Homo-oligomer: A and B are copies of this chain.
Amino acid sequence: MSHLKDNSMSSIVDRMVEASRQLSFHPKAPENCKIELPSRSNCIEIMHQLRSVFFPGFFQLFEYSQDRIGFHVGAMMDRIAINLQEQVRRGFCFNCANQGNLQSCTLRAEDITRQFLERIPDIMLLLCEDVQAAYEGDPAAKSPAETIFCYPGIFAITNHRVAHELYRLGVPVIPRIIGENAHNVTGIDIHPGAKIGSRFFIDHGTGVVIGETTVIGDRVRLYQGVTLGAKSFPLDENGHPIKGVDRHPVIEDDVVIYAGATILGRITVGAGSVIGGNVWLTRSVPPKSSISQGREP
């Protein structure tokens, strides 16, 4: 670059610094508080560590004997606690608007991390049932272990069950990072706000979208390309969508939704219904409905 005139570079940098000063996006720290943004790679590392304790023996090499597994789980949980507390604290920084201070954010992060850790054994049991559902729901699955090891649906629901718990505890931005990690890896986009029952299975999964206020019952099965979305957004006086309104479907227990189906709005799909591939559905259907393309009720 020896021929790029140096004052040219200086002038470019000046224009960039000028532009960055005008951005109103970056969180502003209150007095005496340094903003530290969450680290996406650390969040992904935490998910990797959680996977290793949810499914012992599958994701990190350790000897699997009855006595020593406790050492490894305990040591990993301690690392998870330290790492997660730090990211949760930074999550609070991210949304900071002068209401907080470093001290109080640290205490909230500590408290929330503790609550999350106590939920881990229950999350673990939920995931075991998801694995069983994946094995039973896919004729190509050779063993439950294979679904833990390879199935994008299991990867995505693992991230979601963690992200949802943090979302429920009021942690900003971190749940979204965890959800987007699954989206990147699997093409399955589940908003952390979505409530999902037990024994949930998504097969193949690419293109699945599940919106923030979706509610899904037990034993539900989805295929690739299914959208559980919003039909329209009420706009505020400025023409911007109003945030926080229930606007996604309620899917009751034992529903199956085949590939490419699009279900929009705060409608209810009754228990035991089967929604066919590529169906476009914007009205509620009663339990045990069977809907296929061209036959929306």
A148 to B15, alpha carbons, bound, how many Å?
21
Total copies of this chain within the assembly: 6
Chain B residues with CB below 8 A from A186, complex form? 183-184
Tell me if A169 counts as interface (CB < 8 A to partner B): no
CB distance from A126 to the nearest CB of B (A): 11
State how many residues of chain A have any CB contact under 8 Å with chain B: 124
Chain B residues with CB below 8 A from A260, complex form? 225, 227, 260, 262
| Bitwise interface map of A from 222 to 254 toward B, beta carbon under 8 Å scored 1, else 0 | 011101011001000000111111010000000
Q: Which of B6, B19, B24, B38 contacts A121 (CB 8 A)?
A: B19
- Which A residues from 56 to 110 make CB contacts under 8 A with B? 56-58, 62-79, 81-82, 85, 94-95, 110
Interfacial residues, chain A to chain B (CB-CB below 8 A): 1-4, 6-10, 12-17, 19-21, 23-27, 34-35, 37-38, 40, 53, 55-58, 62-79, 81-82, 85, 94-95, 110, 113-114, 117-118, 120-121, 124-125, 128, 131, 136-146, 148-152, 172-173, 176-177, 180, 183-187, 189, 191, 193, 204, 206-207, 209, 211-212, 223-225, 227, 229-230, 233, 240-245, 247, 259-260, 262, 264, 277-278, 280, 293
